[in-house]
Amino acid sequence: MRIIDARVIVSCPGRNFVTLKIETESGVYGVGDATLNGREMAVVSYLTEHVVPQLIGRDASRISDLWEYLYKGAYWRRGPVTMTAIAAVDTALWDIKGKVAGLPVYQLLGGRARDGVTVYGHANAAGFDGLLSEISGYADLGYRAVRIQTGIPGLSSTYGVSKDRMFYEPADAALPTENVWSTARYLNHIPTVFQQVRAEFGPDLKLLHDVHHRLTPIEAARLGKSLEPYDLTWMEDPVPAELQEGFRLIRQHTTTPIAVGEVFNTIWDCQQLITEQLIDYIRATVVHAGGITHLRRIFDLAALYHVRSGSHGATDLSPVCMAAALHVDVSIPNFGLQEYMRHTPETDEVFPHAYHFEDGYLFPGEEPGLGVDIDEEKAARYPYRPASLPVNRLEDGTVHSW
Ligand code: KDG
Ligand code: MG
């Protein structure tokens, strides 16, 4: 089954998405997400200039071989641009394999290991009253897990607090906007928020929080310790994770579970974190970690060390990535949680999909392949708009992690 065409489609139905569509001689085609928020066109160029020409004429059924060919064959390994491009090819090939087999991809990955995929939503508001009503809204929809982000007194904006009530979109301008950050204000405020939320909602609702790479290990240790009474499901990205051994320090001080991985591209980014049991949830994704093939390798390693999955599912990961993630989630033994930030109606219209939400769970659907498509005619109505993620500075002007 030869590949006869591969096309990169860029569209902005509410936000930018890059999609790879691979067509075979039999007429069966597959889709893969290639979106790298704020750096979309770098992946478009990598795919169109370097990858697509190498795909034409190859056998679409040889998923592992093509993965190795693109990874080892480039000589330059790893990195978000390369791995997002490889992920798009890999995802599209799994979609094709499922369609050819007449089976949903999760069946090819071993079948269901659970009935539904437990998801968490994003409750956020600048102030406490708004936050309570957001959390109640999610609980009413059936969510069992909610991520809590809130404004910090003294800071005009912070990560995770939306301007739009329903859809959080941090890539808010063509060139980066700038935020101001204070670790001291943050560390003093956050435990008071969780104390009130836990008191209000009782012990059963799973509560999560994203630190978004802003602390040092000892600061993260203090935060984790101060949050222990409120029983968080996880504290996410407490520190920038280039220094994997830095997590040892956090671990020595707190039992608050740790989740990390949304910016990881390969198993080498988390090998030490997993094998030294320095984390509890690995949040790598299909689109940024080399596709279904490589993500499964990461989750398999994690399973040996009692680390569970907790995949990233922000709105900048397209419905194609979400569909692929759900086939993985439903089939692996060590599934933990799946993030589910809802897409805008325009996005859902451009990407019709079989997955659906019910009572706190997502279900991948039973269509052959991934059960997701791109409507190219509709996609063409939404041209690309440059958008960048913000940059963060401390109050004295020093550039800080965002
Ligand atoms: O593109 C960056 C976003 O996906 C990221 O900021 C969202 O941290 C995030 C999350 O956990 O969803
Ligand atoms: Mg995050």
Say how many Å lie between the CA of residue 211 and the centre of ligand 2: 8
Residue 196: strand, helix, or coil: helix
**Ligand 1 binding pocket includes 170 (Cβ within 6 Å):** yes
**Per-residue pLDDT reduced to its tens digit, 269-281:** 999 999 999 999 9
58 plus 159 within the same structural domain: no
122 within a domain of the structure (yes/no): yes
Q: Which of 41, 75, 104 corresponds to the end of one domain? A: 104
84 plus 188 within the same structural domain: no
Question: Over 80: is that where the pLDDT of 164 sits?
Answer: no
Helix, strand and coil content of the chain, in percent to the nearest 5, comes to 40, 20, 40
378 within a domain of the structure (yes/no): no
More confident position, 8 or 157: 8
Torsion angle, alpha carbons of 326, 329, 331, 335, to 10:
-170
393 within a domain of the structure (yes/no): no
* Cα 378 to Cα 380: distance, rounded to the nearest angstrom: 5
Q: Return the CATH number at 345.
A: 3.20.20.120
Please confirm, yes or no, whether 294 is among the known catalytic residues.
no
- What DSSP string describes 84-151? HHHHHHHHHHHHHHHHHHTSBHHHHTTS-SSSSEEEEEEEEESSHHHHHHHHHHHHHHT-SEEEEEE-
Task: Identify the residue whose C-alpha is closest to ligand 1 atom 1.
Answer: 37
**Per-residue pLDDT reduced to its tens digit, 201-253:** 999 999 999 999 999 999 999 999 999 999 999 999 999 999 999 999 999 99
* Cα 21 to Cα 297: distance, rounded to the nearest angstrom: 24
The model's confidence at residue 166, banded by pLDDT at 50, 70 and 90, is: low
Compute the Cα dihedral for 189, 193, 199, 202 and give only its sign. negative
**Per-residue pLDDT reduced to its tens digit, 19-33:** 999 999 999 999 999
Give residue for tokens 């990461």: 298
197 within a domain of the structure (yes/no): yes
Per-residue pLDDT, 162? 83
Residue 114, amino acid:
R
Pick from 119, 262, 321, 402 the residue to mutate for probing ligand 1's pocket: most ligand atoms within 8 Å of its CB: 262
Q: Which of 76, 104, 132 corresponds to the end of one domain? A: 104
H or E element, residue 253: helix 247-253
**Ligand 1 binding pocket includes 314 (Cβ within 6 Å):** yes
Whether 33 and 287 have beta carbons less than 8 Å apart is answered as: yes
Question: Over 80: is that where the pLDDT of 38 sits?
Answer: yes
75 within a domain of the structure (yes/no): yes
Which entry of 122, 209, 212, 288 is annotated as an active-site residue? 212
Least Cα distance to 265 among 232, 312, 223, 333 occurs for 312
Question: Over 70: is that where the pLDDT of 165 sits?
Answer: no
Torsion angle, alpha carbons of 261, 265, 269, 271, to 10:
90
128 plus 26 within the same structural domain: no
Token duo for residue 227: 């949050």
Residue 73 CB coordination number (10 Å) = 9
Find the mean pLDDT for residues 345-374.
Answer: 98
161 plus 307 within the same structural domain: yes
209 plus 282 within the same structural domain: yes
383 within a domain of the structure (yes/no): no
Question: Over 80: is that where the pLDDT of 40 sits?
Answer: yes
What's the total number of domains in the chain?
2
Interacting residues of 284 by C-beta distance below 8 A, sequence separation 6+? 261, 262, 264, 269, 270, 295, 298, 311, 312
**Ligand 1 binding pocket includes 187 (Cβ within 6 Å):** no
Find the mean pLDDT for residues 332-340.
Answer: 98
Please confirm, yes or no, whether 71 is among the known catalytic residues.
no
**Per-residue pLDDT reduced to its tens digit, 111-144:** 999 999 999 999 999 999 999 999 999 999 999 9
112 plus 89 within the same structural domain: no
Pick from 36, 312, 322, 388 the residue to mutate for probing ligand 1's pocket: most ligand atoms within 8 Å of its CB: 312
Q: Comparing 7-11, 143-147, 161-165, 274-278, which segment has the lowest mean pLDDT?
A: 161-165
**Per-residue pLDDT reduced to its tens digit, 171-205:** 989 999 999 999 999 999 999 999 999 999 999 99
pLDDT, the chain, mean: 97
Q: Return the CATH number at 29.
A: 3.30.390.10
**Per-residue pLDDT reduced to its tens digit, 267-310:** 999 999 999 999 999 999 999 999 999 999 999 999 999 999 99
Find the mean pLDDT for residues 333-337.
Answer: 98
Q: Which of 63, 82, 104 corresponds to the end of one domain? A: 104
Which entry of 159, 168, 361, 382 is annotated as an active-site residue? 159
* Cα 200 to Cα 292: distance, rounded to the nearest angstrom: 39
50 plus 117 within the same structural domain: no
Token duo for residue 275: 């094998």
* Cα 231 to Cα 309: distance, rounded to the nearest angstrom: 19
**Per-residue pLDDT reduced to its tens digit, 54-107:** 999 999 999 999 999 999 999 999 999 999 999 999 999 999 999 999 999 999
Question: Over 70: is that where the pLDDT of 168 sits?
Answer: yes
173 plus 189 within the same structural domain: yes
Whether 263 and 284 have beta carbons less than 8 Å apart is answered as: no
206 plus 116 within the same structural domain: yes
Whether 315 and 345 have beta carbons less than 8 Å apart is answered as: no
184 plus 75 within the same structural domain: no
Per-residue pLDDT, 163? 77
Domain of 7, in residue numbers? 3-104
Least Cα distance to 317 among 7, 22, 19, 9 occurs for 19
Q: What are phi and psi of 361, to 5 degrees?
A: -120, 150
65 plus 177 within the same structural domain: no
Give residue for tokens 């029983």: 231
381 within a domain of the structure (yes/no): no
Residue 268 CB coordination number (10 Å) = 12
167 plus 70 within the same structural domain: no
